[in-house]
Amino acid sequence: MEDFLVRERVRAKTYELLAQCYKLPLTFKDDNTIEVLHKLLSLVNEEAAIYAKEMKDALDNYSNLDEMKFDFLALFVGPKTLLAPPYGSVYMEEQGQIMGVSTYDAMRIYNEAGLKKSEDFKEPPDHVRVELEFMSTLIQQTIESCEKSEPQESVHKIELQLEFLSKHLAGWVKPFTNNIISNAKTTFYRSLAKATESFIRQEFLEDSIAMKEEFNELNKLTDNIN
Amino acid sequence: MKLSRRGFLKVSAVAGITAFLLSGCKKDSEVLETSKPGEIQPLVQGEWKPSGCLGCTSACAKQVYIVDGRAIKIRANDESKVHGGNSCPRAHLAVQQVYDADRIKQPMKRTNPKKGINEDPGFVPISWDEAMDTFAEKVLELRANDESHKFILFRGRYTNINDIFYSSLPKIIGSPNNISHSSICAEAEKFGPYYTQGYWNYRDYDVQNTKYMICWGVDPLCSNRQVSHYLNVFGDLLKKGVKIATIDPKYSSTAAKSQVWMPVIPGQDGALATAMAHVILAEGLWSREFVGEFTDGNNAFIKGKNVKEETFEEIHTHGVVKWWNLELKDRTPEWAAPICGIDADTIRTVAIEFAKAAPHSIVFMGGGSNMQVRGAYNSMAVHALNGLVGSIDHEGGVLQGRSPKLLEMPKPDEYMDEMAKTNSKKKKMDQRGTKEFPALKDGKSGGGVVTNRVADAILSEDPYLPKVAIGYFVNLNYSCPETERWNKALSKLEFFAHCVTHYSEMSHFADLLLPSTHHMFEQMTSSAQKANSYTHLWMTQRLIDPVFDVKNPETEVAWMLAEKLAEKGFANLLDFYKTELKDPETGAEPTTGLELELYAYKYLTKSIWDSATYDEMKNNGDMFNNWQEFVDKGVWNSSSYKFKALWSEMKTETKKFEFYSETLKKALTEHAEKHSTNVDDILKTCKYTVKGELAFVPHYEVPYVEGKVEQYPFAFIDSKSRLAREGRSANCSWFQEFKDSDPGDIKWGDCIKMNPKDASKLGLQDGDLVKVTSPTGELTTTLKLWEGVRPATVQKNYGQGHWAMGHVAAADFDKKIARGGNNNDIIPADFERLSGSTAYYGSFRVRIEKA
């Protein structure tokens, strides 16, 4: 079980760091977010790790982050049309509007995990940062329930992880990151998009499923011992 | 076991990562917080909540279907007696506006000090605190230099409590410059009703009881006014056999549902109206009850003959004989026909049928006949037809509505210091009341606004160069003719803050973007309007949490500015809000912008929901027992209309309906005296041709048209789009997808429409890309061949041609490439100067070439 939890901590931290990459102000020069992200991705996803390395190199090449800031604004904030709207509903719904049925579904799943978007964060609840951070928190909750030996709770949180990945993040990460890749002016954000896409793709197709199976195996073992 | 991939992460490899990273003591989430179990349920049935629409001045009462905090759809509030359960289509687009990813999400500041259409403003996010701090500094800088009058507040669409922002804020700061958009909206249309019956406002029409309706330069099945009501009632009218004639140079939505379409030549409405008046008098069809009768009972209104005034005994009108003698006696249909393009028989038939159906008959006048350079007298002439047949204030006729008596918002006078008192009396930036711009609203020289003149005034620094401005729900360099002047003028402003939902054309020149709430869902809003012989007043609560970090300009922005000014030592504005706008129920002072919003609405409408105040003010209509009861229902209705109450009680000089306008004579004389000249000179200055007594009666003026026919063969017809929410809905995909609901228009595009006969002469084909050139500008759009315009005219709807507003509205928002053309890029900036109105119609010509 301890090995399982270590792996989960890596997943939780990776989601958290990816979420940090989609925010302002840009503090990457003063913290080690990108370096740690690179190290973690190197452990779980070779492809994504290459992109994280590109992010790190790009960062090292900038003397200040103004170019990155304006790139970030054009992609995700405005005031003009967002080149890569960071909202799930824009990709998942016909009208391309925000606050749609899919947004509400994300809110429902947050609530199942006892969470909601913070009132201080004045963006729709299916903003990429919220969804990534939600995954991180959900994994963290899974870890805690394992630590407290609450298998039912763990199963619930694992199911929520899989549901959220399949219905939300994995559902729109591709067109979203494609928008970034086509429109970003900086290597940093192009590589961030590639890293995000690669990480979520592997999470959705392999790692989350493997995680569930590992948990089930472990749980079976525990049951047998008892 | 499928652990191979997962096995990739060997635990041994983790040793390289510090314990800190993986300790599990994750820092607190920045974007999530805890929620209560079951706070969000699977989608359940929602609730219809009262709201209202400000997508045009119809101001319909609506309901919004709210499911778990999200607005889903819109319908009419059937409690309204103005429109019942009927709703116009443009209201639905509001949901797309509020849930648009292109909205401005948080306050932003400009980082590029250079302003211009080709400059990138370099907007970066800032906090509301920093934004308001910057703004307050700018205001105080003006005051420190005794330049407080160089502050301007531009008002676009607004709500019932706007006075606390629009009126009081500039006064307390010390500026005369609160500039409304009204004169790009109507004004010339209100001129005729004011100078005949003393009413400067839109009229209501008792269509349920009418027998004959003439829709003149108005398209109520498409755009303002009261579309929700008319879309419903037209079917009943036609079924009942009510005859409808539409006078409009284009085949409008309303024309399509009328028995008679009279495609008047643009600008020639005055010829048609005076000819119809001639027929009504010559045929002896005027109202004996309202206008009066010859003392001997014999009709002396004979073509070409003067009538002795003493032979006619007038009752509720003034000057009918003078009007005949000065103007009408020679205005036969045969005279008018070649001028206005309508054959004499049709003119005669419509005039006779209209008068015979009277007093249950209506001339429903819109801006088309009068928002022209020489349109003031058209406005009088068209409206005066109602006076001749006695349909004014009569059942089945033309009404004034029964407004609710609301509490007047508190006056700021006591909070104005010496500088404010002195500087707020300085000249206004729109040049109103100058010799050239009488703007005679309510009979006063400079009584009204000349919105589009402000750009020229800024450019010429006459009366001075303003420095600090704020605008809300306004987009003047898109919505005013000759947009380029505004681009230059806005570039000249030292500091401009724009309160708006979307990055619009005007935002491009802003120093601060202050993102705004949507009036229908995210803020409290109230407005009153009339139709169907009732007036309603609706009230919206905040129905959803604002989607982004957005604030209501009229209350929250006003409050934050007041707080910042107080922090920096100028507390007058905050004192005003705190002292004068207490909660009428508890007496509590507002402590936030949200409380100011709530208390202001409670205060304004107290005479509706508080029985003592209701009685004290002798109010009419619904009375609610308390505030909550009012907001739950969300709409107040007036009592039924009292017909004929205005007869001989009008707010004119004579109290009568004035065919010879003593009221206009007084206003023009006072304006002339103010400028030490005579009325003839004033009228000449205002581009009119009239001299002498004719100036005081409705009369025909040869239209003032920019562009000679040899160079510019086509008269241009500007009209409004069915789904335009005052130029703000072009970023909604529904606006584009249903653009062809404007007769002859195309989806996702823009077009100019030409009669096929003209196109054939020019060798042009349907779908050609064409360049449209006017004397002041050019645009490129698609040509559509359409039988709905007469030869020698072309028609184009307003609403496309945004180079900003969002990625749907613009063809390329980032590169500032517009989707189609904006009519205001080619309309010359001219005015109907007596009212201050901008001239959109019948005032210029264009040429069309293959692009």
Per-residue model confidence as pLDDT tens digits over A90-131: 999 977 899 999 999 999 999 999 999 999 999 999 999 999
Q: What is the ipTM for the molecules in this complex?
A: 0.90
B317 phi and psi angles, rounded to 5 deg: -125, 170
The CATH number given to B109-185+417-516+551-575 is 3.40.50.740
**Which H or E element spans position B395?**
none
Q: What is the pLDDT of residues B756-783, one digit of tens each?
A: 999 999 999 999 999 999 999 999 999 9
Closest-CA residue in chain A for B29? Answer: A133
For residues B773, B776, B779, B782, the Cα torsion angle rounded to the nearest 10 degrees is -40
DSSP of B776-805, one letter per residue?
S-EEEEEEEE-TTB-TTEEEEEES---SSS
Q: Kindly report, residue by residue over B786-828, the tens digit of the pLDDT.
A: 999 999 999 999 999 999 999 999 999 888 899 999 999 999 9
Fold (CATH) for B204-399: Dimethylsulfoxide Reductase; domain 2 (3.40.228)
In contact, B210 and B360? CB cutoff 8 Å: yes
Q: B721-738: per-residue pLDDT in tens?
A: 999 998 899 999 999 999
Q: How confident is the model at residue B10 (pLDDT cuts 50, 70, 90)?
A: low
Q: What angle do CA B259, B261, B267 make, to 5 degrees?
A: 155
How many Cβ atoms from other residues are within 10 Å of residue B346's Cβ?
16
Give the rounded distance of the alpha carbon of B72 from its chain centre: 27
Mean of the per-residue pLDDT values of chain A: 94
If you average pLDDT over residues B31-45, what whole number do you get? 76
Q: Among the listed ranges A10-14, A24-28, B409-413, B709-713, which one has the minimum average pLDDT value?
A: A24-28
Task: State the Cα torsion B506-B508-B512-B517 to the nearest 10°.
Answer: 60
pLDDT tens-digit series, residues A160-175:
999 999 999 999 999 9
- The Cα–Cα gap between B515 and B518 comes to 10
- Lowest-pLDDT range, A4-8, A189-193, B150-154, B372-376? A4-8
- The CATH number of B714-850, from 2.60.40.10, 1.10.10.10, 2.40.40.20, 3.50.50.60, is 2.40.40.20
Looking at residue B11, its pLDDT comes to 55
Residues of each domain in chain B carrying CATH 3.40.50.740:
109-185+417-516+551-575
> What is the per-residue burial (b if ≥16 Cβ within 10 Å, else e) of A106-135?
bbebbbbbebbbbeebbbbbbbbbbbbbbb
Using DSSP, state whether B398 is helix, strand or coil.
strand
- Which ranges in chain B are annotated with CATH 3.40.228.10? 204-399
Q: Is the pLDDT of residue B6 over 70?
A: no
Q: How far is A46 from chain B (nearest CA, A)?
A: 10
Query: Using alpha carbons only, how large is chain A's radius of gyration in Å?
Result: 18
Average pLDDT over residues B31-47: 77
Q: What range does the domain containing A64 cover? A: 2-225
Q: Which residue of B has its CA nearest to A95?
A: B733
Question: Could you give the angle at which helices B558-567 and B572-580 cross, rounded to 10 degrees?
Answer: 130
Quote the number of domains for chain A.
1
* pTM of the entire predicted model: 0.94
Residues of chain A positioned with their CB less than 8 A from the CB of B101: 82, 85, 87, 90, 96-98
CB contact under 8 A, A79 and B123: yes
Closest among B52, B196, B75 to B518, alpha carbons compared: B52
Residue from A163, A121, A161 nearest A140 by CA: A161
Average pLDDT estimate for B106-110: 98
CATH 3.30.200.210 fits B47-98, yes or no: yes
State whether B40 and A217 contact (CB < 8 Å).
Answer: no
Q: What is the CATH number of the domain that holds A158?
A: 1.10.3480.10
Average pLDDT, stretch A25-47? Answer: 93
Nearest residue in A to B816, CA atom: A80
Instruction: Phi first, then psi: give them for residue B483, nearest 5 degrees.
Output: -60, -30
Do the Cβ atoms of B11 and A6 come within 8 Å?
yes
Cα distance between residue B777 and residue B724, in whole Å = 23
Residues B43-62 pLDDT 10s? 667 899 999 999 999 999 99
pLDDT at A225 over 80: no
What does the DSSP assignment read for B110-166?
------STTS----EE--HHHHHHHHHHHHHHHHHTT-GGGEEEEE-S--TTTIIII
Residues near B361 by Cβ (< 8 Å), separated by ≥ 6?
B210, B211, B212, B213, B214, B354, B355, B389, B391, B396, B397
pLDDT range class, residue B22, cuts 50, 70, 90? low
Confidence band, pLDDT 50/70/90 cuts, at residue A2: confident
pLDDT at A40 over 50: yes
List, in sequence order, every residue forming a beta bridge with B33; answer none if it has no partner: A116
Which A residues, 110 through 169, put their C-beta within 8 Å of a C-beta on chain B?
110-111, 114-119, 121-124, 127, 129-130, 133-134, 136-137, 140, 143-144
Contacts of B503 in chain A (CB under 8 A): 78-80
* Cβ(B636)–Cβ(B630) below 8 Å: yes
pLDDT at A77 over 70: yes
Condensed to tens digits (0 to 9), the pLDDT of residues B552-605 reads 999 999 999 999 999 999 999 999 999 999 999 999 999 999 999 999 999 999
Query: What's the confidence (pLDDT) of residue B15?
Result: 54
Q: With an 8 Å Cβ cutoff, are B101 and A95 in contact?
A: no
Residue B1 has a pLDDT of 28
Question: pLDDT at residue B280 above 80?
Answer: yes
pLDDT digits (tens, 9 = 90+) for B448-500: 999 999 999 999 999 999 999 999 999 999 999 999 999 999 999 999 999 99
A47 touches chain B (CB under 8 A): no
Give the strand pairing for B525-531 and B534-540: antiparallel
**Mean pLDDT rounded to a whole number for chain B:** 95
For residue B706, what is the enclosing H or E element? none
Mutate to test the interface with B, among A21, A80, A141 (most CBs of B within 10 A): A80
Choose among A16, A96, A214: nearest Cβ to B3. A214
Q: Which helix (H) or strand (E) holds A197?
A: helix A187-202
pLDDT at B9: 55
CA B824/CA B802 separation, integer angstroms: 11
Report how far residue B372's alpha carbon sits from residue B382's, in angstroms, rounded to the nearest whole number.
Answer: 14
Specify the range with the lowest mean pLDDT, choosing from B282-286, B647-651, B718-722. Answer: B718-722
**Percentage of residues in chain B having pLDDT higher than 90:** 92
pLDDT of residue B34: 86
CA–CA separation, B516 and B155 (whole Å) = 13
Q: State the pLDDT confidence band at B2, using cuts at 50, 70 and 90.
A: very low
Q: What confidence tier does A215 reach under pLDDT thresholds 50, 70, 90?
A: very high
Q: Which residues pair with B636 in a beta bridge?
A: B537
Q: What is the pLDDT of residue B14?
A: 57
